[in-house]
Amino acid sequence: MTEKDKYRLFCRQETSIPVFLRDWWLDITCGQSNWDVLLIEQKGQICASMPLFIPLKGIISMPPHTQVMGIWFRSFSTGSKQLTKQALCQEYCKKLIGRLPKHSSYCQNFHHSFTDWLPFYWNNFKQTTRYTYVLDNIHDETSLWQNMSQGMRRNITKAKNRNKIKIERGIPTNDFLDVYQQTFKRQKIKTLGDLRVLSELIAESRRRGQGEVWGGYDADGNLHAAAFIVWQKSGAWYIAGGGNPQLRHSGAHSLVLWECIKHVAQFTDHFDFEGSMIPGVEHFFRAFGAKQLPYFQITDGKFSLYHRALIFLKKQTSRFLNKNSIHGRRN
């Protein structure tokens, strides 16, 4: 049995593995043949794992619509000394780094619970600190509301009372993709990720009962804003969203996310906005009262011009497939 086969079985047993590191997520975002995994095993137990997205030979990168990858560690037994835990985690890191495929470029974002990147530093990797925003205790609706900024509460109230925005769960995927693309078009930014991948993530997470799309509509049936959320017991994540540029001052986006958070509180106690380094987006997430958490982007080497050209061609092919498949069906 290969390490990948072992990992697939392990994903069905271990509940603490973040959704982005699960085999079904990797199959969709990376492509089944474009990812692999390194495992550390002791006494028949997997103690650490490190999935890898390898879009091209010599390139280890981040797949679309995926906030973090990096290393997962098995939880230590209650009472374990901090000294012991840190020493073991560093040892696992050293072994995994030593087993990395030969590469010219490596880039992975690590979960915010990964706080010790020294083994990578000792091996001449580089690190950039990024930020996400997380809400805890989301079952406490009263506390969440009180901890929001006044502006956020005002937007939610305005959307609901003045603009009569109604929130619907389970909106058509194509409607979501349309409004998702409109946001980036307004900002003159190319659509993030692959629409085919995003469509498949929505379909599979719905099938598993782990994801859904919410939309905010006015009385005339116009879709103002929408959001795609996935969840499991260990957390919920805001994967993608957008709004109609002509209707973006209605407060609908704020109301949509507020309703999403309240809904997923029945499955988990944590909501991760996935963060952003863009000032306006960061301010929007922070206004929900979420706490800022740093996470590491660890890199090594850089893309060659040859690799950049190949990736560009793959993206162009993907856009062509999007036009001929995504908009040809309804979900």
Give the start-to-end residue ranges of the domains of the chain.
3-124, 133-293
Rounded CA separation 177/326 (Å): 9
Site of tokens 């706080």:
115
| 3-124 against 133-293: fold identical | yes
CA distances from 253 to 13, 266, 287 (A): 36, 21, 13
Rounded CA separation 165/215 (Å): 9
Q: If you classify domain 133-293 with CATH, what class do you get?
A: alpha beta
pLDDT tens readout for residues 263-298? 999 999 999 998 777 777 888 999 999 999 999 999
Rounded CA separation 121/126 (Å): 6
pLDDT tens across the length of the chain (331 residues): 899 999 999 999 999 999 999 999 999 999 999 999 999 999 889 999 999 999 999 999 999 999 999 999 998 877 778 888 899 999 999 999 999 999 999 999 999 999 999 999 999 999 999 999 999 999 999 999 999 999 999 999 999 999 999 999 999 999 999 999 887 776 655 655 578 999 999 999 999 999 999 999 999 999 999 999 999 999 999 999 999 999 989 999 999 999 999 999 999 999 999 877 777 788 899 999 999 999 999 999 976 554 555 555 555 444 444 444 444 444 4
Rounded CA separation 212/233 (Å): 15
- The predicted pLDDT at position 278 comes to 78
> Residue type for 120, please?
F
How many C-beta atoms lie closer than 10 Å to residue 224's C-beta?
24
Is residue 106 within a helix (H) or strand (E), and if so which, with residue range?
A: strand 105-109
Contact 180, 241 (CB under 8 A): yes
Answer CATH for 3-124 from 3.40.630, 3.40.50, 2.40.50, 1.10.3470: 3.40.630
Residue 206: both structure tokens together: 């719905």
Strand partners of residue 48? 40, 73
CA atoms within 13 A on the CB side of 311: 19
Residue 315: both structure tokens together: 């993206």
Enter the DSSP assignment of 175: H
Burial group, residue 177, by CB count within 10 angstroms (0-12, 13-18, 19+): buried
